[in-house]
Structure 1
Amino acid sequence: MRLPDSFGLLRQRDFGWFFASRTVNLLGLSMANVALAFAVLDLDGGSASELGVVLAAHTVPMVLFLLVGGVVADRWPRTLVMQGGNLVSAASQGVLAALVVAGRADVTSMVVLSAVHGLASAVSFPAMAGLLPQLVERRELQRANVLLSVSRGALTVVGPSIAALLVVAAGPGWALAVDALCWALSAGALLGVRVPRAERPADPPSALADLREGWDLFRSTTWLWVVVAGFSVLNALQSGAWLTLGPAQAKRTFGEQGWGLVLSAESVGLLLMTAIMLRVRLDRPLRWGVAGIALAGVPLVLLGSAPVLWLVVAAAVLAGMGFEIFNLGWNLAMQEHVEEHQLSRAYSYDALGSYVAMPVGQLALGPLGEALGYGPVLVGAGMLWVAACGLVLTSRPVRDLARAPVAEDALSDR
């Protein structure tokens, strides 16, 4: 499988417009993460604890309503669900940007607008996650996922650095304004996606029955719930240590622009691994995915113990490579082993379990870092990260899950 072959998928109308929507959206997101962090830290008395509160305000409503979003996405046209969520996100980010630019933002307004944004994400994420198998044939799933990874990696290489430059030169509000515009453009691009509406039974089950069906799938699929349980720990560490303490530690050491370089370095690693994945088939996608993502513990340890920019950048490249192995492996596992009519609900249970501890990390690690020091808490988080990955790999269903036969046959023909 070669990169030109993957780009050939863009000639397919529906996937092409979906790719355009995701690309524009990812550009805004890659800038917003940096801009929001420094918008909070630039407030009078802004701290890692307040940043954690703002981030948690996004996560809590998202977690609470993810299951509702999964049911909605399996019942209604997924493109329509995504458009609605994207437009709400555009409005909330636009208001936040205006407040920051005008100097009228405070923690309360940021919390409220982050909560609105989180609610929109709860509805649109399961729809987005479940849409790809409706746009391409199963044999094309790895190619399509690789192409989306190329886009994500390329944009997040430049996005954080551009955001950091905007933050330094003009202030974080302008980077947030770009994110708001990207959400609106992403919704517009989805107008070009035409997916036949799935036939529903004449007497469809209730929403509660749909939730029970999704739960039965989740609890009976060992590899699914084991990985999700592991990621409840990893996401708490990612949000509480890397995204909350990370910017604060960077501001004290190598600065905002250095932090933008670190985040961009992750994406360089992602792109490097994408090039490898064009030539390597993941016969055991979760075994290699979980082993790869264990590398993300390294930059946490270095940021806490030796915050030298070039060392943290080099470790971030390794982490990005690990993230890409896992992202590809996880998407292939879900898209090949879960039926399409249940896929959004499966992703919603996945996201619920994976994200449920994020507010704990966001709210707890900021004060813990201020009490014990950012460095020791970051080092401890990195060590716990690696240990959690090791525990997930003790599960045989995770280690032994293979590619679906149809996907393997299709890939062998290339």
Structure 2
Amino acid sequence: MAVFPEGFTPVHSYLRDLSLLRDRRFSLLLAARTISVLGNAFAPVALAFGVLDLPGATATSLSVVLAAQSVPMIVFILVGGVIADRLPRQRVMMAGEILMAAGYFALAAMLLTGWTPLAALGVAAAVTGVAAAITFPALTGIIPEVVPPDRLQTGNALLGLGANASRVAGAVLGGGTVVLFGGGWALVVSGAMFAVAGVLIAMLHRTPAPADDGGAKHSVLADLRDGWREFSSRQWIWVVVAQFSVLIMGIQAGHGVLGPLYAKENLGGPAAWSAFLTGEAVGTIVGVLVSLRVRPSRPILVAVLLCLPTALPYVLLGLDAPLWAIVAGAFVLGVCFDVFGVLWQTTMQREIPAESLSRVSSYDALGSLMFGPIGLLLAGPAAGLFGTEAALLGCAALVTVSSLAALLSPGVRDLRASRLVHADVK
């Protein structure tokens, strides 16, 4: 619980949080991250409609391009963690942003010139996937290098606020740009945003390499084994990652297939699903404001408990609740996931040694996301076999059971926050 001195109100506390923006390095990182996420929010709409508008293109064409993008990201995420733990993370992030810009500029050039062999589109998309695999672990590791230890949760929350605002803005502006100018020009805008983010990261100036072991050389496999040792030795990490491998499978099925299908069948179509996503987006922004203040003594226990209400929108959809209630459920999901994310990131950054943090975060990402595609593949057949409502209730069951199972872990229940967590709000 936050403790305020006499005469020091929550308003003063929020102002203290915002004072972190006066730190030049943090402001550069926040600007770079916000612009990069905006570019990433532009990209899916631009790429999807850009490919589908090509002569002779089909849904299979888009599937091939998206698979070419997602598979390298999964394959290289662990290597990205090794790179970010070996080299200065500022340089790794800068390289990732510039590589991302190059991939999207290449895709834009093909769409604008009309030279669009599927293989070439796939190669350019794969470049963006590799770039994402490089950038994400470096981002997790660079935050403690930029933000003071007693301000980590505040820093993560402010970065989350910028990212969430960019996702909302990008979804709207990206669609409008595609409608007005076409997918090719929208991809140019996306690539330019990644390039600007790369320049801002460059302005952070070089950060030291995370590990200094006297110049000893290690193979990539040895580094991966060391990272796995750090990951697997902490019960609270691997239990929650196992939880999320199942939870994300349910959410991917619900968000990617079953929710839109239910909206089409029962709620009038895209407008209703847009209202759902808007409710969720607003919830993520409110979640940032909550995460700026909440300082639980057992952060992982609270984070896992917050996963239970995320089943609510799927229960409401499965029970044919009115649209306003479903949107309210989506809002709750957004709040809970955002607070979870800030507590999780902050705890990892405080508990994992700096020289291993990027590798551990790459194992976290790989484990959490690996079953997501299975959820997407099973959602359609499940809806056909059991009905859309029953399949949505099945998604809620996956979220609930996986979260309750994680609560059985002593490591999840007993991990206590350091004193720095509470010093952050005093």
Task: State the TM bucket, normalised to the shorter chain.
Answer: 0.7 to 0.9
Query: Which amino acid in structure 2 is aligned with residue 221 of structure 1?
Result: R
Using the TM superposition, give the Cα deviation of residue 356 of structure 1 relative to its aligned residue in structure 2, in angstroms. 2.0
Q: Which residue of 1 aligns with 2:88?
A: 77
Instruction: Report the CA distance shift for 1:73/1:290 in structure 2 as closer, same or farther (over 3 A).
Output: same
Deviations 1:111-154 (A, max 9, x none): 54433322211111111111000012110101111211221232
1:226 to 233, 239, 243: 239
More deviation in 126-135 or 271-280? 271-280
Using the TM superposition, give the Cα deviation of residue 262 of structure 1 relative to its aligned residue in structure 2, in angstroms. 3.2
More deviation in 378-387 or 211-220? 378-387
Q: Which residue of 1 aligns with 2:5?
A: none
Confirm or deny: 8 A CA contact 2:35 2:196 kept in the other structure: yes
2:50 is aligned with 1:58: no
Confirm or deny: 8 A CA contact 2:91 2:206 kept in the other structure: no
Using the TM superposition, give the Cα deviation of residue 162 of structure 1 relative to its aligned residue in structure 2, in angstroms. 3.0
1:121 to 128, 132, 156: 132
Q: Which residue of 2 aligns with 1:323?
A: 337
Confirm or deny: 8 A CA contact 2:231 2:363 kept in the other structure: yes
More deviation in 272-281 or 119-128? 272-281
Partners in 1 of 2:202 and 2:80 — Cα distance? 20
Confirm or deny: 8 A CA contact 1:337 1:404 kept in the other structure: no
Confirm or deny: 8 A CA contact 1:89 1:116 kept in the other structure: yes
More deviation in 271-280 or 394-403? 271-280
Gaps spanning 5+ residues in structure 1: where? none
Query: Which amino acid in structure 1 is aligned with residue 405 of structure 2?
Result: L
CA RMSD of aligned residues (A): 3.2
Partners in 2 of 1:336 and 1:307 — Cα distance? 42
Confirm or deny: 8 A CA contact 2:283 2:334 kept in the other structure: yes
Gaps spanning 5+ residues in structure 2: where? 1-9
2:215 is aligned with 1:203: yes
Confirm or deny: 8 A CA contact 1:272 1:321 kept in the other structure: yes
2:252 is aligned with 1:239: yes
Q: Which residue of 2 aligns with 1:161?
A: 172
Deviations 1:300-354 (A, max 9, x none): 4445664965444322211110111110110111011111111111111111211
Partners in 2 of 1:56 and 1:307 — Cα distance? 35
2:394 is aligned with 1:380: yes
Partners in 2 of 1:111 and 1:160 — Cα distance? 23
Partners in 1 of 2:95 and 2:65 — Cα distance? 23
Q: For residues 14-413 of structure 1, what are the structure 2 equivalents within 5 Å?
A: 14-36=25-47, 55-99=66-110, 111-167=122-178, 172-198=183-209, 200-207=212-219, 208-247=221-260, 254-256=268-270, 258-303=272-317, 306=320, 310-366=324-380, 369=383, 376-408=390-422, 410-411=423-424
Superposition TM-score, scaled by structure 1 size: 0.86
Aligned-pair identity (%): 38
Instruction: Report the CA distance shift for 1:216/1:319 in structure 2 as closer, same or farther (over 3 A).
Output: same
More deviation in 118-127 or 360-369? 360-369
Confirm or deny: 8 A CA contact 1:60 1:118 kept in the other structure: yes
Partners in 1 of 2:50 and 2:271 — Cα distance? 14
Query: Which amino acid in structure 1 is aligned with residue 232 of structure 2?
Result: R
SS in 1 for 2:250: helix
Q: Which has the larger radius of gyration?
A: 2
More deviation in 9-18 or 134-143? 9-18
Partners in 2 of 1:173 and 1:303 — Cα distance? 36
Aligned residues: 411
More deviation in 230-239 or 73-82? 230-239
Partners in 2 of 1:92 and 1:230 — Cα distance? 33
Using the TM superposition, give the Cα deviation of residue 249 of structure 1 relative to its aligned residue in structure 2, in angstroms. 5.5
Using the TM superposition, give the Cα deviation of residue 42 of structure 1 relative to its aligned residue in structure 2, in angstroms. 6.9
Confirm or deny: 8 A CA contact 2:51 2:57 kept in the other structure: no
Confirm or deny: 8 A CA contact 2:153 2:343 kept in the other structure: no
Using the TM superposition, give the Cα deviation of residue 68 of structure 1 relative to its aligned residue in structure 2, in angstroms. 1.0
Instruction: Report the CA distance shift for 1:40/1:403 in structure 2 as closer, same or farther (over 3 A).
Output: farther
Partners in 2 of 1:105 and 1:257 — Cα distance? 33
Confirm or deny: 8 A CA contact 2:46 2:178 kept in the other structure: yes
